[in-house]
Amino acid sequence: MDLILCHTTADFDALGAAVGLTRLLPGSKIVLSGGSHPPVRDFLALHRDEYALIERRSVIPEKIRSLTVVDTQQRDRLGKAAEWLDLPHIGEIIIYDHHLGQESNIPATESYISSVGATTTLIVEQLQQQEISLTPAEATVMALGIHVDTGSLTYDQSTARDALALAWLMQQGASLSVISTYRDPGLSVQLQQLLTESLENLEYFCLHGYTVAWVTLRTKNFVPGLSSLASELVELTEIDALLLANEYALDEGDSRLTVIGRSQIPKTNLNVLFQLLGGGGHSQAASLNLRGVDSEAILKQLLDGVKAQIPHPLTARDLMSSPVRTILPETTIAEAQRILLRYGHSGLSVVDAQGQLVGIISRRDLDVALHHGFSHAPVKGYMTTNLKTIAPDTTLPQIQSLMVTYDIGRLPVLENEQLVGLVTRTDVLRELHQERDEDEEGQKFKNQNDANAAVTKFKIPLSTELQNRLAPQLWQLLTTASQEAEKRGWHLYLVGGAVRDLLLADATSGTLMIKDIDLVVDGFHKSADVGAGVELAKALQQLYPAARLEIHGAFQTAALLWHKDPELDSLWVDIATARTEFYPYPAANPEVEASSIRQDLYRRDFSINALALRLTTPRAGELLDFFGGLLDLQAKKIRVLHPNSFIEDPTRIYRGVRFAVRFGFQIEPQTEEFIRYAINSGVYDRTAQENSKTPALQTRLKTELKHILEAPYWKSALQLLDNLGALQCIHPTLNLDAELLRQLRLLERCLRRFDAEQTLIHWEMRLEALIAHLAPQYRAKVAKNLQLQEDTIKRLQNLASAQTEVMESLPKCQSPSQVVQLLRQYDLPMLILIALQSPRSLRHQIWEYLTVLANVQPLLNGNDLKKLGYTPGPQYRQILDHVVAATLDGVIKDRAEAEGFLAQHYPK
């Protein structure tokens, strides 16, 4: 176990540095040695589950391998954890600190101490050197560390290195709204006096669960730093919006009014309000300066504007995960831990035999129980029974307040005393960590195509714009589907590749006619069951009778298919109930269970495919991006969602390569590491030996090969697959060496020359060429494993013997007719495969056969023979073959010579 120690009363710099180190030291855990600053405590009340934190009491000292100490060099600041420094088996003790001139009493093996404003800066620089990316949650807490310790770069000890570190953290997705909530830059003496006055005179109103405050300060002169005072007031009073007015006299006897606005209310836009009066700024921070005006009238106008902008807040029904995974009080600690591992939850709800909620047990509770050896004990002895619950209409601010006040990580949602959902920290954080800037035109984000390209913007297709992006007939179909879902009280989402393609599409290039659409129904809190997707598909088929309906019960999905429809052309619409999945073993088909839209997106392969667009009202057009898909589209990255994703499903390697080559994206470095680890681990070979069915190495792999080999970019895709070692998924010995590359180039020439009409399936021919490059004993086995067509399997099985016969017999042929007699027993695909692996001289003979000799027709036909008096029968075939051979060999050249040939060799 590798531990990272924060000093007692940990501040944001210690926590931020520790979080960054967990990326430099994979698998390491953070221990808070003793307490934390109040802002850190409040921050962790919401964000604890985002970081690798463990309790000091859960640590087994004998298992500690290394210790890394951040933001201190003194052992007395580590509390009881300082005892671990003296353990004789500790391999490494490393210090990261930015306090110079201190004598350390920690027996460090390595020290990284530098004159910067924050220890976190040192960690950021190492992350940059190693090209390690961060999640928005990690970037946010690290940015907080630098902001707090440098006073947002205003303290004397701040350096350019701190500024560069902050800039990089912003690129990684640090949330400015969260940072502004928790940083504390401090106030001047004058501002502190005005703070006291403001607190005494603040006025408030509450609307839709949000609190708005305002105050007017009258001073003799202009007061600098009012923006800091406004931020301090917002933090101290926990209000959601503030209008801070300062009126002061001018020398001319006139007065000037300054108003500072701050808002943390979603979808409010102070910039719009302040611009109406000549001011401006940003959506959540704006200001204005006016002269000779009625301050009360101006303030009233702004307050009325804020009231009009305040939206109805999100409720627990909008946020919650549903259905809820529950266990009984008698469930053992070990079994509960297994369930958590399977479903990736951080806690479980405990219900009695009647389904009534009786407790909640968290991962931390289970860790402590397991640490003390109580794996067989029932969870009822460790679960929390003094529960805080909420109703479906509890608002987001109320939920957030409960979580912070009581340090609760999950709140059960009860309706009529029945458990209908669960709101977790993650559900709340997905709203707090939105990386989108809103303006009157919609939501936008910047995309830097490359170092020399101009900055372009993708506009998220909100409900007002989606209709213009899609072909009208598709828009009507989606509208009809959403209306049918709303009738049943369900949410409907457009998910996956269709959303990705909408975001990538150029709005000026016309409407899109997407051929493959995925829809997900989520609505278990509104009486939907596991068959919701199927029910919706059946309802749509009643409205679109031309569509063919297919139902796949095992996966709770249905599909509507149109083929050459006058309006929709060829279209596939897959409709599924929101679900989660679990792979019983690598390369298996997943086991699926009903779940929520968030869990449904979490099971997907890459972040750019884990996007969803809500189609139903309210909030139609809202984009769901829980995993940074927008940022990865911006950076042109292919990033996998789970470290074990490729072990569970090797076809995701092929999908990732296909997306990378198709869109011109790069596979993100850590994702590439996961790919190489999965391939080199040997898990696919072991799985194939241990299980008779491995669909991800059989039928699903064939499907991905089809998608790649029929695409125009197939060569580049194969080269990238080979670079990753992924062709080994087909067979361990398959490599794209120079000889195979030559054969594939030659194959393309053959297909262009001999199959211009594409009577052959070209992607299958490319796959056969790949398999044919293997040793003969593996070819048929691989073809059977991929479940190719029977004639393909036979062709690959017989290829070695056919090639041997051709290579031995073809050089011995003395005449064209002998060449034809030898080669005509093989079909075109077999001759192409033989030619690919033959020396040039034989290849030229096969080429001549296909281009010239095989096309020579007999100078006479059956009707001619009948007219000449020959009795119809099997001899016709023999006679005509003999005529063709004579023609090939130049014995006869025209019809007269052919008739003479017959008279000589086949007298009547």
Residues of the chain with pLDDT > 90, as a percent, come to 52
* Range with lowest mean pLDDT among 2-11, 454-463, 880-889: 454-463
Q: 701 and 729 in contact (C-beta within 8 Å)?
A: yes
Q: pLDDT per residue over 255-284, tens digit each?
A: 889 999 999 887 788 988 988 898 776 677
Rounded to an integer, the average pLDDT of 655-671 is 96
Q: How far is 857 from 85, CA to CA, in rounded Å?
A: 92
- Res 661 pLDDT > 90: yes
Question: What pLDDT is recorded for position 591?
Answer: 53
Residue at 841: amino acid letter? S
Say which residue, 626 or 802, is predicted with more confidence.
802
Question: What pLDDT is recorded for position 265?
Answer: 86
Query: Which pLDDT band, with edges at 50, 70 and 90, does 598 fall under?
Result: confident
* Range with lowest mean pLDDT among 130-144, 800-814, 874-888: 874-888
Question: What pLDDT is recorded for position 581?
Answer: 57
Rounded to an integer, the average pLDDT of 317-339 is 88
What dotted CATH number matches 438-635?
A: 3.30.460.10
Residue at 242: amino acid letter? L
Question: Residue 271, by phi and psi: left (phi above 0), alpha (psi -120 to 50) or beta?
Answer: alpha
Rounded to an integer, the average pLDDT of 545-568 is 85
Contacts (Cβ under 8 Å, ≥6 apart) of 818:
none
- Res 445 pLDDT > 60: no
Within 13 Å and on the Cβ side, how many CA atoms surround 500? 22
- Res 110 pLDDT > 80: yes
- Res 694 pLDDT > 90: no
Helix (H) or strand (E) segment spanning residue 559: strand 557-565
Average pLDDT over all residues of the chain: 86
What dotted CATH number matches 189-309?
A: 3.10.310.30
Q: How far is 533 from 529, CA to CA, in rounded Å?
A: 9
Helix (H) or strand (E) segment spanning residue 262: strand 255-263
Number of DSSP helices (H) and strands (E) in the chain, helices first? 37, 30
Q: pLDDT per residue over 158-182, tens digit each?
A: 899 999 999 999 999 999 989 988 8
* Range with lowest mean pLDDT among 118-127, 658-667, 697-706: 697-706
Question: What pLDDT is recorded for position 382?
Answer: 92
Helices (H), 387-471: 396-406, 425-432, 463-469
Q: How far is 751 from 218, CA to CA, in rounded Å?
A: 85
Query: Which pLDDT band, with edges at 50, 70 and 90, does 449 fall under?
Result: very low
What is the crossing angle of helices 160-171 and 119-129, to 10°? Answer: 60
Question: What pLDDT is recorded for position 528?
Answer: 46
Q: Which residue has 């000091």 as its token pair? A: 56
Question: What pLDDT is recorded for position 860?
Answer: 82
Rounded to an integer, the average pLDDT of 621-650 is 89
Domain 2-182: give its CATH architecture. Alpha-Beta Complex (3.90)
- Res 901 pLDDT > 80: yes
Say which residue, 840 or 686, is predicted with more confidence.
840
Question: What pLDDT is recorded for position 436?
Answer: 41
- Res 583 pLDDT > 60: no
Question: What pLDDT is recorded for position 523?
Answer: 67
DSSP 798-865: HHHHHHHHHHHHGGG--SHHHHHHHHTTS-HHHHHHHHHTS-HHHHHHHHHHHHTGGGPPPSS-HHHH
At residue 173, what are phi and psi to the nearest 5 degrees?
Answer: 105, 20
- Res 667 pLDDT > 90: yes
What single-letter DSSP state applies at residue 868?
A: T
Whole-structure pTM value: 0.63
- At the fourth CATH level, the homologous superfamily of domain 319-432 is CBS-domain (3.10.580.10)
Q: 638 and 656 in contact (C-beta within 8 Å)?
A: yes
Rounded to the nearest angstrom, the gap between the alpha carbon of residue 776 and the centroid of all alpha carbons in its chain is 40
Contacts (Cβ under 8 Å, ≥6 apart) of 491:
485, 521, 522, 523, 597, 614, 616
Question: What pLDDT is recorded for position 584?
Answer: 52
Say which residue, 466 or 893, is predicted with more confidence.
893
- Res 62 pLDDT > 90: yes
Question: What pLDDT is recorded for position 396?
Answer: 87
Query: Which pLDDT band, with edges at 50, 70 and 90, does 556 fall under?
Result: low
3-state secondary structure of 245: strand
Rounded to an integer, the average pLDDT of 130-147 is 95
Query: Which pLDDT band, with edges at 50, 70 and 90, does 905 fall under?
Result: confident
Question: Residue 281, by phi and psi: left (phi above 0), alpha (psi -120 to 50) or beta?
Answer: left
Residue at 471: amino acid letter? A
- Topology of domain 730-855 in CATH is cca-adding enzyme, domain 2 (1.10.3090)
Q: How far is 216 from 201, CA to CA, in rounded Å?
A: 8
Question: What pLDDT is recorded for position 663?
Answer: 94
**Which sign, positive or negative, has the C-alpha torsion 784, 786, 790, 794?**
negative
Question: What pLDDT is recorded for position 437?
Answer: 37
- Res 608 pLDDT > 50: yes
Residues of the chain with pLDDT > 70, as a percent, come to 90
Say which residue, 617 or 526, is predicted with more confidence.
617
Pick from 504-513, 604-613, 675-684, 859-868 the range whose average pLDDT is largest. 604-613
Q: 409 and 49 in contact (C-beta within 8 Å)?
A: yes
Q: Which residue has 């990378």 as its token pair? A: 660
Pairing mode, strands 92-97 and 110-113: parallel
Question: What pLDDT is recorded for position 11?
Answer: 87
- Res 590 pLDDT > 60: no
Catalogue the long-range contacts made by 672-677 (C-beta closer than 8 Å, 24 or more residues apart): 672/724, 674/640, 674/643, 674/645, 674/646, 675/646, 675/724, 675/726, 676/724, 676/725, 677/646
Q: How far is 210 from 285, CA to CA, in rounded Å?
A: 17
Say which residue, 202 or 466, is predicted with more confidence.
202
Helices (H), 154-206: 160-171, 176-182, 189-201
Burial of 376 (0-12, 13-18, 19+ CB in 10 A): exposed
Pairing mode, strands 29-32 and 2-6: parallel
3-state secondary structure of 329: coil
Q: How far is 884 from 384, CA to CA, in rounded Å?
A: 92
Residue 425's alpha-carbon distances to 18, 173, 284, 418, 845, in angstroms, are 21, 19, 24, 21, 72
- Res 825 pLDDT > 90: yes
Question: What pLDDT is recorded for position 354?
Answer: 85
Question: What pLDDT is recorded for position 440?
Answer: 33
Closest by alpha carbon to 226, among 239, 215, 238? Answer: 215
Closest by alpha carbon to 343, among 328, 360, 323, 359? Answer: 323
Q: How far is 747 from 739, CA to CA, in rounded Å?
A: 12
Contacts (Cβ under 8 Å, ≥6 apart) of 854:
820, 823, 824
Q: 183 and 144 in contact (C-beta within 8 Å)?
A: yes
Question: What pLDDT is recorded for position 586?
Answer: 52
Q: Residue ranges per domain, the chain?
A: 2-182, 189-309, 319-432, 438-635, 730-855, 862-905
* Range with lowest mean pLDDT among 123-127, 279-283, 765-769, 855-859: 279-283
Say which residue, 721 or 861, is predicted with more confidence.
721
Q: 422 and 322 in contact (C-beta within 8 Å)?
A: yes
Query: Which pLDDT band, with edges at 50, 70 and 90, does 435 fall under?
Result: very low
